[in-house]
């Protein structure tokens, strides 16, 4: 998968603001992708991404550190969850609808990520 900066260059780019958070909708080499970022904890942000994956439309939630325009994460150490996988064509409409559906439970994802980091901190101490 290409870096985010290169993906934006391809075909279409659209920013859509919903009631909860902004959604960046991009059509790149691999089809439509919707992405939303919300502040999580200090320099960390929770990202919700919906795109073509496997046999359908896949949505994942992940947490990464964002500093000076750069993103970094700890492999097998930062929060990553497959939220939804629906067997459907990855059309603009389907990708956006699934992204909006998952953003409807954003508070649950934030709580789940906080719990993940509390358990991680308890294991390390």
pLDDT digits (tens, 9 = 90+) for 4-58: 433 333 334 454 544 457 889 999 888 999 999 999 988 899 999 999 988 899 9
Give the Cα separation of 112 and 125 in Å (integer).
20
- CA of residue 40 relative to chain centroid, distance: 13
Over range 58-65, report the average pLDDT: 94
Identify the pLDDT of residue 5. Answer: 39
Contacts for 91 with CB less than 8 Å, ≥ 6 apart:
32
Give the Cα separation of 41 and 74 in Å (integer).
15
Identify the pLDDT of residue 86. Answer: 94
Domain spans in the chain, listed from the N-terminal domain onward = 4-124
pLDDT, one tens digit per residue, over 86-124 is 999 999 999 999 999 999 999 999 999 999 999 999 988
Identify the pLDDT of residue 73. Answer: 82
């Amino acid at each position: 998968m290409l870096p985010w900066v290169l993906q934006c260059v391809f075909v279409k780019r659209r920013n859509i603001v919903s009631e909860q958070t902004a959604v960046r909708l991009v059509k790149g080499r691999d089809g439509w992708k919707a992405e939303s970022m919300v502040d999580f904890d200090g320099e960390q942000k929770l990202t919700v991404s919906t795109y073509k994956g496997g046999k359908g439309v896949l949505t994942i939630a992940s947490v990464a550190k964002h500093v000076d325009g750069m993103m970094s994460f700890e492999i097998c150490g930062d929060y990553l969850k497959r939220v939804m996988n629906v067997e459907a064509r990855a059309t603009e409409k389907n990708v956006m609808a699934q992204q909006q559906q998952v953003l409807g439970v954003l508070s649950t994802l934030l709580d789940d990520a906080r719990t993940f980091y509390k358990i991680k901190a308890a294991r390390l101490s």
